[in-house]
Structure 1
């Protein structure tokens, strides 16, 4: 009689799991992520040409517009399908973060504006902001120290 252990079980189920299509998944992520960046570049050029922004100052409205588009597409259910198709290609740019925040807000809207939407939306955003702030501080300190001693 065979005794089922975690190791035996893991070996058995590996036989039935589909093999990941790494090249195909990477290609889809690259194409979709690249297209998101192309849209961002087109928005940036639009802000420069039509509204007189400089290259440096066009970044803020470009990112804001990408976030708005991503939030709207999330609300309509389009961005989730894009994420299923593209994987990390849709998750890595700022649009992926906007999608995460909007999804959390929509998921908990039945609990009310403050306790549902705001609370759950900022659970995710808070950790990202803290990690980003700490990372920026550490990179800034390393850069400062390198400049001082080199």
Structure 2
């Protein structure tokens, strides 16, 4: 089972690190991580980050009918991940908008940077299929991370 560790970076910003092992299913025929799987690893890390600060996406869906959806992605693939690598997905909340937030994420293997991404995440009401403001309790927790 994967766990999320919270730690402070050298700059003082709160970041979350999620360990990920590369399995055969994550790779192409050459044993290299298939590019779309970096996005899956980042999605997992964002979910665990929210869980770590006290919010389950399933509960937000059931209680408030809201979901967090990816609005845009900027991705830089810098070096290949390989079968059986032990990776870490390091995430931090970069900024908050009215109905959105920006995650900066990187995937590392030891001291090697494999991937960097910027993800704009929108808060959406599922019934109306429209953006809605971040719930106050979620915003307050996320603001703590941005200001840390």
TM-score above 0.5, yes or no: no
**TM-score of the pair, normalised by structure 1:** 0.29
Structure having the larger proportion of residues in helix: 1
Structure having the larger proportion of residues in strand: 2
**TM-score of the pair, normalised by structure 2:** 0.29
Rg bigger for which structure? 1
Structure with greater contact order relative to length (CA < 8 Å, sep ≥ 6): 2
